Structure 1
Amino acid sequence: MWKPDRQNKKPLYEQIADHIEQRISYGEFPPGSLLPSERKLAEQLGVNRSTVILAFAELRSMGIIESRSGSGTCVSNTKWGATPKHTPNWKRYAEGGSFLPNLPFLRRIREALNQNTSLIDFASGELSGDLAPLDEITKLMSEHPFPSYLGYVNPQGYVPLRQALVTYLDQYRGIRTTESSILITSGSQQSLYLITQCLLSPGDAVAIEDPSYSYSLPMFQSAGLRLFRLPVDREGVCPEEIRSLHKKHRIKMIFTNPNFQNPTGTLLSEQRRSQLLEIASELGLPIVEDDPYSLTDYEGIPRPPLKSIDPIGSIIYIGSFSKIAASGLRIGWMVAPHSIVERLADARQQMDFGLSVIPQQVAAQFLKSSYFEPHLERLRMQLLFKRDLLVEALNKELPDLIQFNIPQGGHHMWCKLISAVNDSKLLEEAIKQGVVFVPGSVYGSDSGFVRFTFARAKAEEIGPGIVRFAKALRELIR
């Protein structure tokens, strides 16, 4: 017999109400039929009678059941009309399915930003409008007419874009590949989604960095994967534990972000790059390398990806325009063995029949244009300027309350709070003061860490934003 799950965060009475409503909707209790008494149902379910009373009150408030003195509780006739009819319980549908919703902190941040557009945004992981190449893209769209055919394109992506990426990857990332080994996606998250859904099975174990952006993506849990941590320090991810994880849990895949890692901003050291590749090769494990930030290297000499020194083809390489051009283009790519690209292209075609050809054409033209390199130079300079503003503000406003390492590229500053505070209370107080950030626990870390993203906020907002955060923090620790 069904019993409520005491480990579930949903209150017991709501679980019982949902279960009874489901049995009614399935026809187990037709309109007018008598339900078990409160006492009997409490005994059957192993709960207090007061819990059943609350469940019945919930159903009664929706008009699903009615109670009559001396007659007990029965399914309502008036709710259903002449024949059994019932409005779908959309709440149950919304909470069902295998694909999990975003984490509560992320939903709260999105809600706050939607409700108050004046909030200073240190949370969103996209470029501000002034960092995007809007003028350049406008010119390219006027110079190059749309394709004569606007129907579905090759499931792997628009051929001219894949051809442009072959040149781009060779010139900027040191990756030698062919267009047949490239899959165009709508961004890094779709690439990760395809990998978790198509190349792995529920119950498979994978290794991810700790902390890691992957912890903020419920898609890993939705796929039924078991996540095991590889610690990240100042030199990036520590690969030593991969052998023991593989021995204990038979991990199937490694996910890493070696260049200006999200959220810590760290750069994987040369020694650890070699060590990671050596261990993965020894165990026959594929590595998924997410590389969105390399071209933001403030020194102007982007670090090579792991894929560029991969001698045996063990790496699936993921890239995107979102962090170096414009997230609104919704263009990402994956470089993988052709058999994997074919498998994932087939799956993606079942989802959406392929991406729109227009942004793919724009991306192809931008990569080949004389605008691309100057844009990267300008982007690096502006990101470096914003980073320095953030460092200056943190040192001025929170000199004794926060610790951080200064990143040499990317969009993020990872900070440790010296005083212990509750993540939820700090976020709410910050929203009250007019600023949002992402608590470190979203990325799998312990409480007491925060991620500030400086690419989204305007330069003139960075100082005032940290003043507001400092005020929120001091409100909680005084």
Structure 2
Amino acid sequence: MWKPDRHSRQPLYEQIADHIEQRIAYGEFPPGSLLPSERKMAAQLGVNRSTVIMAFDELRATGLIESKTGSGTRVSTSKWEVAPKHTPNWKSYSEGGHFLPNLPFMRKIREALAQNPSLIDFASGELAADLAPIDEIAALMSEHRYTSYLGYDNPQGYVPLRQALVGYLEKHRGIRATEASILITSGSQQSLYLITQCLLSPGDAVAIEDPSYCYSLPMFQSAGLRLFRLPVDRHGVRPEDVRALYKKHRIKMVFANPNFQNPTGSVLAAERRKQLLEVASELALPIVEDDPFSLTAYDGMPPAPLKSMDEVGSVLHIGSFSKIAASGLRIGWMVAPRAIAERLADARQQMDFGLSVIPQQMAAQFLSSSYFDPHLERLRMQLVFKRDLLVEALNKELPGLIRFAVPDGGLHLWCKLVPEVHDGKLLEEGIRRGVVFVPGSVYGSDSGFVRFTFARARTEDIAEGIAKFAEALKDTLGGA
């Protein structure tokens, strides 16, 4: 994000005015578009509001912008005295289309992190740099020369990566697959997107866990799906609830995250796994199993995935490198019947002609290398350490004010706040104090739940971040 240069001889307000004029000239702010408020722009640029007021005064004097009480400040529809005849209504376009924007809380979190990278981040569901295999990937890149043709690759995914995944899935997940049944995606989210867009139709009823990461993804609503809840307790979902939803709503698919569920951290009990597969088989009902966290099991013994127990082909299994290696590689996969893998590969080719072959080559090498297993062991040890720091800090700062179950794997801690509190006010106060987290309502819960991701924050920041959260909570309660 652009910032004015405080070491320049040019006054800050002139730099800001020049920058806004440039953005207007480039069409980023078309004629008639609303500019950010003086207060918001001052916060974004790290300057006093009076500096922005002076910059706006400068632009008003040139006729580039105009202000009206109660309507904000807009770009003049007569730029440099040349009246545009057919300027598109970009605001209308930005609000159109069938693909919905992110939830307001998620946009607020993203904007806060972009404006202030120093925020202590308990919101981002990814690994910190110190948990990623950076040195291992660098070593593999120096050991292997990637000299293959850099053209469009197989739309189903780089064949050596799919071959490496066959071995990985059997060794680490107990899943027997062939390369023809594996589709490479840019991550779990693209897998879910392809399923909702290509295998379901508007108006179809589907079952998702409650709370669930799926509630944070507007793609389900964008696809026109009707969502029905499967309550999650400490043993996961109840299979009889699936049967009841099928009878009442004729659900066409179940979306589940049985291992270290996001956000609760629960693990679907062994007996319920068996019963869920029996219900799915009886009703010919597909289950989409999102399994990004299993290999983070802190004892090194990941729960078996549903797919490893699937005898009739009911389960579409989704995996990803994002939670066990590096989200920036953008490598995920889906194990599916061959016809489904080919159908979704065809759809994905229409979107982007397939993934970049270079990260696929790197992922294939990493999976097959001697670095992979030691990396997993180191990752588990560091995650346990960070989890324990978070638990210790919560117990110290918020005794009697918060309840949680300590997870045995994954990246998240799901917390219930004992006193009633408004999600939005708590998030605002947290951001003001320098910490960001995800309110539970993002995942379909009632107000008063919080998800802390302990994998993203730096080890040395965890205690301080929870202290800031405790201050934010107490201030929010005091101001209620």
The answer to whether structure 1 residue 111 and structure 2 residue 82 are counterparts is no
| Partner AA of 1:260 in structure 2 | F
Q: Measure the CA separation in 2 of the matches of 1:443 and 1:210.
A: 7
Q: Which moved more, 1:243-252 or 1:324-333?
A: 243-252
1:244: how far off?
1.8
2:260 match: 260
| Partner AA of 2:268 in structure 1 | L
* Secondary structure of the structure 2 residue equivalent to 1:292: coil
1:414-425 equivalences in 2 (<5 Å): 414-425=414-425
Give the TM-score taking structure 1 as reference length. Answer: 0.83
Structure 1 residues 62 and 453, CA gap change in structure 2 (3 angstroms):
closer
2:93 match: 93
Identity, % of aligned positions: 76
Coordinate RMSD, CA, aligned: 2.0
Q: Deviations over 1:81-106 (max 9, x none)?
A: 7xxx3211111101100000100000
Q: Measure the CA separation in 2 of the matches of 1:359 and 1:247.
A: 44
Q: Measure the CA separation in 1 of the matches of 2:381 and 2:406.
A: 16
2:216 match: 216
1:130 match: 130
1:199 match: 199
CA contact under 8 A between 1:265 and 1:407: conserved in structure 2?
yes
| Partner AA of 1:268 in structure 2 | L
| Partner AA of 1:212 in structure 2 | S
1:428 match: 428
1:79: how far off?
9.1
* Secondary structure of the structure 2 residue equivalent to 1:237: coil
Q: Measure the CA separation in 2 of the matches of 1:404 and 1:86.
A: 57
* Secondary structure of the structure 1 residue equivalent to 2:232: strand
1:364: how far off?
0.2
Q: Which runs of 5+ in 2 are unaligned?
A: 1-31, 33-69
1:75-474 equivalences in 2 (<5 Å): 85-474=85-474
| Partner AA of 1:355 in structure 2 | L
CA contact under 8 A between 1:79 and 1:86: conserved in structure 2?
no
Q: Deviations over 1:96-134 (max 9, x none)?
A: 000001000000001000111111000000100000000
Give the TM-score taking structure 2 as reference length. Answer: 0.83
Q: Deviations over 1:404-426 (max 9, x none)?
A: 00000000000000001110000
1:80: how far off?
6.8
2:49 match: none
Query: Which structure has the larger Rg?
Result: 1
Q: Which moved more, 1:235-244 or 1:89-98?
A: 235-244
Q: Measure the CA separation in 2 of the matches of 1:340 and 1:174.
A: 21
Q: Measure the CA separation in 2 of the matches of 1:126 and 1:302.
A: 19
CA contact under 8 A between 1:80 and 1:86: conserved in structure 2?
no
Q: Measure the CA separation in 1 of the matches of 2:149 and 2:410.
A: 38
1:26-45 equivalences in 2 (<5 Å): none
1:476: how far off?
1.4
| Partner AA of 1:111 in structure 2 | E
Q: Measure the CA separation in 2 of the matches of 1:404 and 1:149.
A: 51
1:32 match: none
CA contact under 8 A between 1:141 and 1:362: conserved in structure 2?
yes
CA contact under 8 A between 1:394 and 1:466: conserved in structure 2?
yes
